[in-house]
Amino acid sequence: MPDQSPGVPAAPGVPAAEPIGAFQAQFENRWPHLTNPHVRALAWLLDAPDLLDPRSPHWEGRIASLGPIAPATIGWLAALEQDPAPLLASLGNKHYSRLGLYAEKLMAFYFKEHGQLHAHGLQVRADRTDTIGEFDFLLNEGNHLVHIEFATKFYLLDANSTAADFNGLIGPNLADTLGAKMRKIFDKQLSLAQHPAAQALLPQPVARAQALVKGWLFYPDGVMAMQGITQQHCHGFWITQEQAQDLPEQQYAVMPRLSWLAPLKTQAGIDKTLLLAALQDATVPIMVAALRTVGDWLVEERRGFVVPDDWRAQAAQRRHEGVLPA
């Protein structure tokens, strides 16, 4: 993978991504009949734009894409909305504390139901105590396998950075960047099938290894175009707690982590006063959705993170400490 520090700015004349909130309107127009949150989340995973542009030479052909959703899959999702029991059984009664694991389980269900899944979460060990790595997904494709590393990521553009720097896209918990994540995937995870211990587990050769990355990016002041990022990617805003005082008067929701994938559809919202009260003592970024009324439902109009007023300073300190790449 090429050096991540300086990305390449979009060429003059390349339009910026769609306005914040455009994707949510498109999603509701396309999937108005989906109200089960798990089915909606799966529909988003299958139908949302890729976060990374598979056609960009920056990724060297190592980014996977599910492509346009097939009519048969649209019908399959509609049937799941009517009877979600198979999906619920696949998820089980487990409480998912990690959004990435929850998204993996949804995708594993899809791959299995469509006859593609060879293995999910297959660990590769040198011995009982030494784990080499783990295949997120091994998919059947003819007489060979395809290795897919799957990630759902949410990053905020550092206001002190530019959209040409993948390390300027920072996780809300200030623990990683898009640049660091992709270096790890490219340099370590996608080479797992080449390890002798992995080859001993595989009944067929792995024809290719690619990363499938879905997610949302959040901007402090308008959306920036960037090579390597899909122009139509899902995006929102981020503001400080002080700036949240200027949010418009409308219905809102504080979004629990497991609801971060698809645009929210709910019957319970709060007004601006209650939202500000919920945000008042927050010490970590909080995802919020601004809602509009559609029939008996409140549907997501736009989304964003409200961060502590010192979030920028915290990010700078993490860079200074070496926790985040400079």
Q: Which residue has the tokens 């390597």?
A: 228
- Mean pLDDT value of segment 215-231: 90
pLDDT recorded at residue 320: 85
Joined together, the tokens standing for residue 244 give 């949240």
pLDDT recorded at residue 7: 26
Q: Name residue 273's beta-bridge partners.
A: none
- Mean pLDDT value of segment 8-37: 72
- Three-class HEC string of 150-212: EEEEEEEECCCCCCCCHHHEECCCCCCEHHHHHHHHHHCHHHHHHCHHHHCCCCCCEEEEEEE
Mean pLDDT over each residue of the chain, to the nearest integer: 90
The yes-or-no verdict on residue 9 having pLDDT over 80 is no
- Mean pLDDT value of segment 218-244: 92
pLDDT band, residue 17 (cuts 50/70/90): low
55-67, pLDDT tens digit by residue? Answer: 998 898 999 999 9
pLDDT band, residue 258 (cuts 50/70/90): very high
- Mean pLDDT value of segment 283-308: 96
- Mean pLDDT value of segment 149-164: 81
pLDDT recorded at residue 195: 92
Which residues neighbour 271 within 8 Å (Cβ) at sequence distance 6 or greater? 249, 250, 251, 252
The yes-or-no verdict on residue 8 having pLDDT over 80 is no
The yes-or-no verdict on residue 299 having pLDDT over 90 is yes
The yes-or-no verdict on residue 163 having pLDDT over 80 is no
Q: What torsion do the CA atoms of 31, 27, 232, 171 make, to the nearest 10 degrees?
A: -110
